[in-house]
Structure 1
Amino acid sequence: MEREKVNVIGIVFDNYTKKEFIQFFLERINKKEKTFVVTANPEIVMFAKNNPFYYKIIKKANYVVPDGVGVIKGAQLLGSPLAERVPGFELMLALLQEANLNQLRVYFLGAKQEVVEKAVAQVRKDYPLIQIAGYHDGYFDLKDKKMINEVQGTQPDIVFVALGFPKQEKWISQYLETAEKGILMGVGGSFDVLSGNARRAPKFFLDHNIEWFYRLLKQPSRFGRMMALPRFLVEVYKQKIRTKR
């Protein structure tokens, strides 16, 4: 189902449900098309707004997914509601499920060595038909082409990159310059949850779209990062005023 894209303070979001995104990704995998997926929350949007180089990278993405209730609320305020919030972690799990059904090749890049090893072990247990193309920790020079060559050499259908933004998107952008195929998606700290080293928010917080608050309770040091949300909403209101003129 084709829906009009939604511009939220300069970042253009694709307006689909999680199920629809997965359908599009599988079609591109079958066609051996390379695909850059960005899951953007208010923090990423604000960083892109203030960082021209990163903004150009986001503009290269084939799909920009609305990850974060702030993005959903912002789109509503602008009178252009998005279909639904699509958390990056849930999108990753949905892709893993499809990779298992279709016996796809998946590469895992990022996090600490012990974390990525545990994450891969859990994937082998939960999704036994996935072909693990390979894995590597996130401690390497982003400018080193050897890592790109190593991953491409495994011919992955999907690459999950857990370097945190903006590093993961910068690396994906470089990778896709020479890649022939593959879905590449930045997944932030998802390997920590996948490995069992960290817990996702309880159901109450997820159901009420306040997962961010749970993270803040668990990690008070995130308070500075959370300030991106009020700044984001201020920019949304500015955009709303401009469009009314």
Structure 2
Amino acid sequence: MKPKGHRDSRFHGSMQGFLRLLLIQITVFFASSCALSPVPCGGEVQAEGSLASPGYPQSIYSSIDCVWDIEAPAGHVVLLTVVELHYDIYTTPTDCRWGWLAVGFKKTSQRNVTMCHYLDAGRTIISPSNTMRLFYKKMSYYGTSSFNVTLSSRIFDTCIPRDLKITSFNSTSATLTWIVLKDKNNMFSSFVSLFSSGNKTQNYTTTNKELTITGLSPGSNYSVSISSMCDGTESIASTAIAVQTSMYKTST
């Protein structure tokens, strides 16, 4: 008859082996669960129809990184309209550190317009040429995300305001500049629309290609788009840009 201590040592050794194997299996399971989504995404598409995140309308839980190159016929521009954008992780209209839906106007990694908030739904972005690059990224394993956009094209329109930029800003104002290729002599009226929380709050009309918007709230987020009256017809609006005022008033 074998001593009891011998049997106990064999039992403990078997249990340790079993627990070690179980730990390895659990580690493999969670590693595979957290792996980058194998769903294919990205590629080359034409500027027509719709484009959505993989599995839409279902949301994506894992990290994902996709790039699409969108092309319109020669002599046309690409129009991308955001139908829905959802990020169930911490984002604000100006804080997209954990993921984004972004547009680039060149076939590089540069992002010209970055979006990550539900307030971006309804935005239309117009490329300056017949190509556009779309980036979709989610870096966190926590939360979910999804998007849906429509794509179209139209003949290159020299009446659409472009190169909209913020040249200066403070806590209560921002100065904008833009160009209208067809209006070389500042004869056309430009209609400037100011949005806050997705709602239009103010309209401005000017024949200049520069405007200072005043009366803004400190530390607030806005967006601005511009259309022009060209040959008696109002153009479609430019790609909207984000405006964020300073938190504190500057001393004079």
**Higher normalized strand content (fraction of residues):** 2
Q: Shared fold (TM-score greater than 0.5)?
A: no
- More RCO (CA 8 Å, sep 6+): 1
**Higher normalized helix content (fraction of residues):** 1
Q: TM-score, normalised by structure 1?
A: 0.25
Max radius of gyration: which structure? 2
